[in-house]
Amino acid sequence: MKYLVTGAAVVLALISICRAAHASDVPSDPSPVDWVNTFIGTGGSSDGPEYGGTMPLVTTPFGMTNWTAQTRQNRISVSSYAYEDGAISGFIGTHQPAIWMGDYGYVTLMPEMGNLNPAVEYRRLPFKHSDEISTPYYYAVKLGADPSHQIVTELTARDHCAYMRFSFPRDGKGSVLIEATRAGTVGYVAVDAARKEISGYNPDRMDAYLSSLRLPNFKGYFVARFRQPFRAQGVYQGVLPVADRTEVTGDGVGAFARFDTKANPVIEVQVGTSFISIEQARANLDAELPAWDFESTRDELKRKWNAKLSIAAIEGATDDERHVFYTGLYHALLYPKLFSENGRYYSAFDDQIHSGESYTAFSMWDTFRAENSLLTLFAPERIDGMINALLQDFREGGWLPKWPNPAYTNIMIGTHADSLIAEAVRKGFKGFDYRLAYAAVYKDANTPPDGDTTRRWLDREPGVPYEARAGLTYAKRLGYIPADQVSESASSTLEESYDDYAVAQIAKAVGKSADYQSLLQRSHAYQRLFNPARGFMQPRNSDGSWASPDTGWTEGDQWVYLFAPLHDIPGVIALLGGRDAFNAKLDAHFGGHHNHHDNEPSHHYGYLYDFGGQPWKTQALVREIARTAYANSPNGVLGNEDCGQMSAWYIFTALGFYPVNPASAQYMIGSPLFTRATLNLPNGKRFQISAPGNSLDKPYIQSVKLNGKPLLEPVITYDQLEAGGGLEFIMGSKPSDWASDWRPERTSTH
**pLDDT tens-digit profile of 193-233?**
999 999 999 999 999 888 778 999 999 999 999 999 999 99
Q: Confidence class of residue 749 from pLDDT cuts 50, 70 and 90?
A: low
Q: Which whole number is the average pLDDT over 248-257?
A: 98
Q: Which whole number is the average pLDDT over 613-623?
A: 98
Task: Give residue 610's identity as a one-letter amino acid code.
Answer: D
* pLDDT tops 50 at residue 86: yes
Length of the chain in terms of residues written: 750
3-state secondary structure 383-429: HHHHHHHHHHHHHHHCCCCCCCCCCCCCCCCCCCHHHHHHHHHHCCC
Element (H, E) at 539: none
**pLDDT tens-digit profile of 450-499?**
999 999 999 988 889 999 999 999 999 999 999 999 999 999 999 999 99
Element (H, E) at 680: strand 676-680
Mean pLDDT of the chain: 94
Task: Report the relative pairing of strands 676-680 and 312-315 from DSSP bridges.
Answer: antiparallel
Element (H, E) at 498: helix 489-509
CA separation for the pair 540, 552 (Å, rounded): 9
CA separation for the pair 534, 531 (Å, rounded): 6
CA separation for the pair 592, 301 (Å, rounded): 47
Q: Sign of torsion, CA 95 66 62 414? A: positive
Cβ–Cβ < 8 Å for 183, 287: no
Where would I find the beta strands (DSSP E) of 193-261? 197-202, 220-226, 232-237, 240-242, 247-251, 253-258
* pLDDT tops 60 at residue 742: yes
* pLDDT tops 50 at residue 13: no
* pLDDT tops 70 at residue 280: yes
Among the listed residues 165, 190, 170, the one whose alpha carbon sits nearest the alpha carbon of residue 292: 165
Our CA angle for 260, 266, 270, nearest 5°, is 105
Q: Which whole number is the average pLDDT over 309-318?
A: 98
pLDDT for residue 626: 98
Q: Give the chain's end-to-end CA distance (angstroms, integer).
A: 61
Fold classification of 53-309 is: Beta-galactosidase; Chain A, domain 5 (2.70.98)
pLDDT for residue 750: 47
CA separation for the pair 716, 713 (Å, rounded): 8
* Residue 359 DSSP SS3: strand
- The one-character DSSP state at 610 is G
Q: Which residue has the higher pLDDT, 101 or 749?
A: 101
pLDDT for residue 4: 36
CA separation for the pair 662, 450 (Å, rounded): 30
- Phi (first) and psi of residue 242, to 5 degrees: -100, 110
**Rg of the chain (C-alpha set):** 26
**pLDDT tens-digit profile of 347-360?**
999 999 999 999 99
CA separation for the pair 338, 351 (Å, rounded): 17
Reported pTM: 0.96
pLDDT for residue 8: 36
Cβ–Cβ < 8 Å for 315, 289: no
* pLDDT tops 70 at residue 559: yes
The fraction of the chain above a pLDDT of 70, given in percent, is 95
pLDDT for residue 93: 98
Burial 465-495 (b: 16+ CB within 10 A, else e): bbbbbbbbbbbeebbbbbbbbbbbbbbbbbb
pLDDT for residue 747: 73
Q: Confidence class of residue 748 from pLDDT cuts 50, 70 and 90?
A: low
pLDDT for residue 47: 44
Query: 364: burial class by Cβ within 10 Å (0-12, 13-18, 19+)?
Result: buried
Cβ–Cβ < 8 Å for 451, 410: no
Domain boundaries, the chain: 53-309, 312-732
Among the listed residues 598, 739, 560, 585, the one whose alpha carbon sits nearest the alpha carbon of residue 656: 739
Instruction: Say what the alpha-carbon torsion angle 409, 411, 414, 418 is, to the nearest 10 degrees.
Output: -50
Q: Confidence class of residue 16 from pLDDT cuts 50, 70 and 90?
A: very low
CA separation for the pair 135, 33 (Å, rounded): 8
* Residue 690 DSSP SS3: strand
Among the listed residues 506, 553, 502, 469, the one whose alpha carbon sits nearest the alpha carbon of residue 368: 502
Element (H, E) at 124: none
Residues with Cβ within 8 Å of 17's Cβ and at least 6 positions away in sequence, in order, are 2, 4
pLDDT for residue 566: 96
Residue 352: CB atoms within 10 A of its CB come to 12
Query: 528: burial class by Cβ within 10 Å (0-12, 13-18, 19+)?
Result: middle
Residues with Cβ within 8 Å of 53's Cβ and at least 6 positions away in sequence, in order, are 41, 79, 98, 99, 100, 640, 641, 642
pLDDT for residue 148: 85
The fraction of the chain above a pLDDT of 90, given in percent, is 90
pLDDT for residue 7: 40
CATH of 312-732, one of 3.30.2080.10, 1.10.10.10, 3.30.2020.10, 1.10.3720.10: 3.30.2080.10
**pLDDT tens-digit profile of 688-709?**
999 999 999 999 999 999 999 9
**pLDDT tens-digit profile of 18-68?**
433 444 468 888 999 999 999 999 997 644 446 789 999 999 999 999 999
Q: DSSP for 708-741, please give it.
A: TEE--SSEEEHHHHHT-EEEEEEEESS---TTTT
Distance of CA 393 to CAs 221, 319, 360, 496, Å? 22, 42, 10, 21
| Runs of H (alpha helix) within 8-67 | 11-17
Burial 1-14 (b: 16+ CB within 10 A, else e): eeebbbeeebbeeb
Cβ–Cβ < 8 Å for 414, 218: no
Q: Which whole number is the average pLDDT over 360-373?
A: 98
Q: Confidence class of residue 630 from pLDDT cuts 50, 70 and 90?
A: very high
Residue 84: CB atoms within 10 A of its CB come to 12
Q: Which whole number is the average pLDDT over 531-544?
A: 98
* Residue 655 DSSP SS3: helix
Residue 196: CB atoms within 10 A of its CB come to 17
